[in-house]
Chain A
Amino acid sequence: MGSASGTPAAPASPTGRTAPVRPGPRRRVAAALHRHAGVRLSLLLSAPLAWLGVAYLGALAALFVTAFWSTDSFTGDLVRTFTWANFHDVVTIEVYRTVALRSLGVAAAVTLIDMVIAFPMAFAMAKVASPRAQRWLVIAVLTPLWASYLVKAYAWRVMLSSDGLLGWGYGLTATVLTLSYLWLPYMILPIYAGLERLPDSLLDAAGDLGARGWRTFRTVVWPLTFPAIVAGSVFTFSLSLGDYIAVKIVGGKSQLIGNVVYDNIGAANNLPFAAAVATIPVVIMLVYLAAVRRTGALENL
């Protein structure tokens, strides 16, 4: 009987004893990492941080530096001498202000439309639909993202053409409409996630305390989902601000910031000026994020 209780321990003890004597290199690394949490963390973060630093911020910095250069108009070579000329032109020439304001208006309109459409949709998904229906609705929202951007934009072009389903013609309105459609999922999903975290009991409590629908929305639902809406608006706003393809397809004769950038790179090979124009949306987004930050929405994300 004594031996029976000893047997199970017998195979374990030799390995338990030999393991510290001859640890494999993998083991040793694992042990060292286990002991040094700081090293572990920095190793884990180094790849994404390098990506962020070099590929993302580095590219932005390169863009900004390029904006102070110029090009030789004949050979097309970059002239790497410092000049304010590009920014001076962007600020002083009226057409760039007009285009920037137009892009801003389009981005704001798209964001607003998406907000108005997405909120009820997300609310129905999170609070009204059955769990089974919920899954299907999420899939339904995600499905359009699988289709090509161009296919969707051209579909709108066909629908909006004068012999098409809608026949409203092309222009800025058509652009806003198409972009709203394209970016809608990016608004629905964050709001849906936000609403899912909102406990049903809060809604019940509001009802019990005598609040009607609108008051419950204003005092309970809206403040708690505001960060989610802001998250969605960052997507729709920035995506619309940088878009130049949809407006080429359904925009008729209008142009946005993206087109100006594209024309200067693709047609004129004037990279520095394109870079200067491209800083406009970057600045707008920074201002937007700063404004959002002041509302405290970012802390609740």
Chain B
Amino acid sequence: MRSTRLVIATAALALAAAACGGGSTGGSTSGGTTAPGHSGFTPPKLEALKSLGAGEGQVNLVAWAGYAEDGSNDPKVDWVHPFEQASGCKVNTKTAGTSDEMVNLMKTGEYDAVSASGDASLRLIASGTAAPVNTDLVPNYKNVFQGLKLKPWNSVGGVAYGVPHGRGANLLMWRTDKVTPAPDSWSVVFDPASPYKGKLTAYDSPIYIADAALYLMATKPELGIKDPYALDDKQFQAAVDLLKQQKQNIGEYWSDYTKAVQSFKSGDTVAGTTWQVIANLVKADKAPVEAALPKEGSTGWSDTWMVAAKAKHPNCAYKWLDWIISPKANAQVAEWFGEAPSNSEACAQTSDKGFCDTYHATDETYFSKVHFWTTPIAQCLDGRTDVKCKDYSEWTRAWTEIKG
């Protein structure tokens, strides 16, 4: 029973996360101290809701697959109907496949709230599509982990633009029977003399360039990389060169979780980047693997529920925001999707009592080493103004070149 659920959960995750990867999800700058306002754009002046009124009877959501389950995928996985009963707001969900799709859907003005990933959230704020969120009207916000509050991908200049939904890290996974000693560094996948040539894997998305930049942060401090998502010409070239060199040793790139699961099981791949939920699946199939956060840290994702500036049902949207980060619903969505919940009290509500430990939900030191995905823009996200950084379309082209 558990494994079936896991498979379904993973399917949902793969859908959403593959989409995240495509559109790139999550996201922040590393330090967490630099507001995007400093890095080149000022959001349009918009007012947050001042007080909560009566519900409008319905709410229109744009969400990742698996974020607003109404029991249609699994009768037991349902946090939409209880919400409808409690709030009197009927939920209409539009599932989006990529961040770009989310941005475009929100721009139509027909939706009230969105589960935006880091890159989408900044664009929604900059274009005035998303309004600031008055967190006083979201009672459960007080229990959200501090490490997720007022971050560069969900706030501008100390003003919150949404409530955090959950987070996860991109881990290093390896076959314990083939890779010895157990690696504690990304060097196992980046070292040109790696003994595992042809058996390594990497994530097939331009955002993976940040993983190389992260490794260079630790190994080549002279490059001065402070944020793996803010790379100037020289830093970017170094990361690209590292990846081109890494390609010689890569067996295959993965972007779809079943591929990753299968190749680790068969031993075609012995080491590479992964998600916690993939590691769980491979372990469930009795393959000898281990996954860990390497000493250099890692990249990861974090999503935010935001409210549209022109929301027709703002009260119901706020009720939904509060519901989705309420301990019970947040635990359900985190378990279904395979990520760390954002509400500190959600850990008591998970059906698997060890869930929060597995996903390091309460471990702030763990997440302090995680650089959440964000889409690179020309204005350097680390606050530098003397240089121009490479934007995501250039990352994409470079990724094409890396793969050759």
- The residues of A with any CB-CB pair to B shorter than 8 Å are 71, 73-76, 89, 93, 95-96, 98-99, 154, 157-158, 161-164, 169-170, 248-249, 251-255, 259-260, 263-264, 266-270, 273
Known: A75-B127, A253-B250, A253-B252. A263 touches B262 (CB 8 A): no
| Number of cross-chain contacts by CB at 8 Å | 101
For the complex with contacts A158-B262, A263-B206, A267-B396, 12 further pairs of A-B residues with Cβ separation under 8 Å are A73-B393, A89-B397, A95-B400, A164-B266, A170-B252, A248-B204, A252-B252, A254-B403, A255-B400, A267-B399, A268-B397, A269-B100
A139 to chain B, nearest CB (A): 31
Of chain A, the residue at the smallest CB distance from B252 is A252
Q: Is B138 an interface residue (CB 8 A)?
A: no
Provide a sorted-by-A list of 10 A–B residue pairs whose CB atoms are within 8 angstroms. A74-B391, A95-B404, A154-B258, A161-B268, A248-B204, A255-B400, A260-B400, A267-B205, A269-B23, A269-B100
With A158-B262, A266-B98 as given contacts, are A73 and B252 in contact (CB-CB < 8 Å)?
Answer: no
Which residue on A lies nearest to B200, using beta carbons? A253
**Closest chain B residue, CB of each to CB of A245:** B256
Residues of A within 8 A of B103 (CB): 76
Tell whether, in the assembled complex, residue B401 and residue A267 are in contact, meaning their CB atoms are under 8 Å apart. Answer: no
**Across-interface contacts of A251 in B (CB, < 8 A):** 252
- Say yes or no for B267: interface residue by CB 8 A criterion: yes
Given contacts A98-B404, A163-B266, contact A267 B377 (CB under 8 A): no
Cβ of B393 and Cβ of A71 under 8 Å apart? Answer: yes
Instruction: Pick the contact of A264: B104, B127, B396 (CB < 8 A).
Output: B396
Q: Are A249 and B23 in contact, with the CB atoms below 8 A?
A: no
Residue pair A263, B250 in contact (C-beta under 8 Å): no
Interface of B (DSSP majority class): helix
The smallest C-beta distance from A77 to any residue of chain B, in angstroms, reads 8
Point out the residue from B126, B206, B250 that lies within 8 Å of A74, measured CB to CB. Answer: B126
B400 in contact with A252 (CB, 8 Å): no
Residues in A whose Cβ lies below 8 Å from that of B294: none
Least CB distance, B269 to chain A, in whole angstroms: 10
Among B30-89, those with CB < 8 Å from A are 41
Take A253-B403, A254-B403, A266-B98 as given contacts and tell me if A74 and B378 are in contact as well, using a CB distance cutoff of 8 Å. yes
Q: Is the CB of A253 within 8 A of B399?
A: no
A244 to chain B, nearest CB (A): 11
Interface set, chain B 97-113, CB cutoff 8 A to A: 98, 100, 103-104
Q: Complex formed: what's the CA distance from A71 to B100 in Å?
A: 12
Tally of B interface residues using CB under 8 Å: 43
8 Å CB contact of B396 from A74, A75, A263 = A263
Q: For A255, what are the chain B residues with a Cβ–Cβ distance below 8 Å?
A: 400, 403-404
**What 0/1 pattern do residues 364 to 404 of B give for CB contact below 8 A with A?**
00000000000001100000000000011101110111011
* B236 CB → nearest A CB, Å: 14
Residue of B nearest to A269 (CB): B100
Please tell me if the beta carbons of A161 and B403 are within 8 angstroms of each other in the complex. no
Kindly state whether residue B10 has any CB partner on chain A within 8 Å.
no
Are A162 and B268 interface neighbours, CB within 8 A? yes
Q: Which residue of B lies closest to A262 (CB)?
A: B22
Contact status of A161 and B127, CB under 8 A, knowing A264-B396, A266-B23: no
Are B266 and A267 in touch, CB under 8 angstroms?
no
Q: Which of B123, B267, B400, B404 contacts A263 (CB 8 A)?
A: B400
**Using Cβ atoms and an 8 Å threshold, which residues of chain B touch A164?**
266
A157-B262, A270-B393, A270-B396 known; A74 and B267 CB under 8 Å?
A: no
Q: Please name all residues of chain B whose beta carbon is closer than 8 Å to the beta carbon of A252 when the two chains form the complex.
A: 250-252
A266 touches B22 (CB 8 A): yes
B123 partner, pick from A76, A248, A253, A268, beta carbons under 8 A: A76
Cross-chain contact A253 with B263 (CB below 8 angstroms): no
Any chain A CB within 8 A of the CB of B165? no
Contact indicator A253/B100 (Cβ below 8 Å): no
Assess whether B206 is in contact with A95, with CB atoms less than 8 Å apart. Answer: no
Give the distance to chain B from A185, nearest Cβ to Cβ, in Å.
26
Segment 250-309 of B: residues with Cβ below 8 Å from A: 250-253, 255-256, 258-259, 262-263, 266-268
In Å, the complex CA distance between A169 and B126 comes to 46
Closest chain-B Cβ to A275's Cβ sits at a distance in Å of 14
Q: Which residues of B contact A259 (CB under 8 A)?
A: 403
B313 interface residue per 8 A CB criterion = no
The 6 lowest CB-CB distance pairs between A and B, nearest first, are: A268-B396, A269-B100, A266-B22, A73-B391, A252-B252, A161-B266
Given contacts A95-B400, A253-B251, contact A73 B378 (CB under 8 A): yes
Q: Are B393 and A268 in contact (CB under 8 A)?
A: yes
B170 adjacent to chain A (CB < 8 Å): no
Q: Indicate if B175 sits at the interface (CB-CB under 8 A).
A: no
A268-B259 in contact given A76-B100, A95-B404, A252-B251 (Cβ < 8 Å): no
- Residue pair A162, B123 in contact (C-beta under 8 Å): no
Which residues from A are CB-within-8-Å of B266? Answer: 161-164
Q: Bound complex: CA of A157 vs CA of B252, how far in Å?
A: 12
* Docked-complex contact A263 and B378, CB < 8 angstroms: no
Report whether A74 and B262 are in contact in the complex, using a CB–CB cutoff of 8 Å.
no
B206 contact from A75, A76, A254, A268, Cβ within 8 A: A268
Q: Are A267 and B23 in contact (CB under 8 A)?
A: yes
B115 to chain A, nearest CB (A): 18
Q: A74-B126, A268-B396 are in contact. Are A169 and B247 (CB under 8 A)?
A: no
Check if B332 is an interface residue, CB within 8 A of chain A.
no
A199 to chain B, nearest CB (A): 51
